[in-house]
Amino acid sequence: MEPVLIVLVVLVVVAFIALIKTIQVIPQASAAIVERFGRYTRTLNAGLNIVVPFIDRVRNRIDLREQVVPFPPQPVITQDNLVVNIDTVIYYQVTDPRAATYEVASYIQAIEQLTVTTLRNIIGSMDLESTLTSREVINAGLRGVLDEATGKWGIRVNRVELKAIEPPTSIQDSMEKQMRADRDKRAAILTAEGQRQAQILKAEGEKQAEVLKAEGEAQAAVLRADGEAAAIRTVFEAIHDGDADQKLLAYQYLQTLPELAKGDSNKLWIIPSEVGDALKGLGGAFTGLTGGVNGGAVAAPSVPQAAPAATQVPLDPASGPRPVDTEKGAARPRVDPAREYPKIDPE
């Protein structure tokens, strides 16, 4: 019984192993290559797959997702004989698992070597400045060459990116000095433009202020002239409407004379020639008043002769303005109207 039991156990184990080898579960976004007696048979896709145990063999599993492979810095010589180190990154995807398995031994290594050689060919025809400023051109050239070469390998190159382009240290120092000089130049230009604009704005502001000030002064002068004209017109109409006589004008002259002497800085008193005529009219008024009271004629008080026009009279701070004797050139004593004219006795 024991040999039979051992055989049964062996058969069960072999059947279990065969069952495991028969059922193949492929994950999503993956593929597997099946060989029968060492020859390619078919490609297993994602899901549950059945193979013949001990006859079919799954060689390798391939990831169908997009892969990212960074390559180490590669020294490249430019057209102007400068050595630069360039880092590249390749984005690729396997589109044909069979070609990727049988057309090339190691497609990762093949892509790397092809990228390096293509990069050297492209950079070798460009100078350093073009290399630093033409990354898009370099990327497009690399992608075109790699996509054409890797198409038969069952690989599609989606993107090629240059991570860094490092020129020599001496060139970096020169570039930093040049960039610093360019920034200083731009800063100086911007500062000069700002100062120029500020001066222009300031001049425009001063111009507008002067124009507005001149317009304001002109309007003020016009309004002031209109006000004075209206005032003169009103006074003129009031005089004509009131039918003012010589006595009223003389009284107004006497009311205005003290105003001429006001102010500490007044040194001269100018008496107009019309003051004499006004005083004569005022004297006639007093004569008429005296005759009406006493019932007889009373001689009018002597009125000083009016000084010529624009006669300059020095001011006496104590007693006020005094008339000037034009013949002798000396100031005469001030005339007090209350003392000069006789008092009227009602009796």
Mean pLDDT within 25-49: 89
Token readout for 126 is 């460009």
Q: Which of 147, 164, 165 is nearest to 156 (CA)?
A: 147
Among 154, 137, 138, 32, which Cα is nearest to 93's?
154
Over range 37-54, report the average pLDDT.
87
Does residue 328 register a pLDDT over 70? no
pLDDT at 200 over 90: yes
| Mean pLDDT, residues 65-70 | 91
The yes/no answer on whether domain 67-167 falls in CATH 2.10.260.10 is: no
340 pLDDT more than 60: no
Residue 160 near residue 89, CB atoms below 8 Å: yes
* Residue 170, pLDDT above cutoff 80: no
Assign 306 a pLDDT band (cuts: 50, 70, 90): very low
Q: What percent of the chain has pLDDT over 90?
A: 18
Q: Quick one: pLDDT at residue 139? A: 86
How many Å apart are CA 158 and CA 164, to the nearest integer?
A: 19
- How buried is residue 57: exposed, middle or buried, by Cβ count under 10 Å (0-12/13-18/19+)? middle
pLDDT at position 74 is 85
pLDDT tens across 94-126, in order? Answer: 999 999 999 888 888 998 888 888 888 888 888
* pLDDT tens sequence across 236-293: 777 777 666 666 666 676 777 676 666 666 666 666 666 666 566 556 655 554 444 4
List the 56-63 sheet strands across, edge first: 39-44, 30-36, 56-63
The answer to whether residue 298 scores a pLDDT higher than 90 is no
Q: Which three-class secondary structure state does DSSP give residue 154?
A: coil
Q: What is the Cα 11 distance to its own chain's centre?
A: 89
Q: What pLDDT shows up at residue 285?
A: 55
pLDDT band at 141 (very low <50, low <70, confident <90, very high): confident
Which one has a higher pLDDT value, 1 or 171?
171
CA distances from 61 to 47, 49, 112 (A): 13, 13, 21
Give me the mean pLDDT over the 300-327 stretch.
42
What's the whole-number mean pLDDT along residues 80-99? 89
Instruction: Look at residue 195 in the predicted model and tell me its pLDDT.
Output: 92
What is the rounded CA–CA span in Å between residue 52 and residue 44? 13
pTM, 2 dp: 0.48
pLDDT at 60: 84
Contact 125, 147 (CB under 8 A): no
Domain boundary assignment for the chain:
15-63, 67-167, 170-198, 245-340
Pairing outcome for strands 155-166 and 30-36: unpaired
The model's confidence at residue 149, banded by pLDDT at 50, 70 and 90, is: confident
Distance, in Å, from the CA atom of 336 to the CA atom of 319, rounded to the nearest integer, reads 10
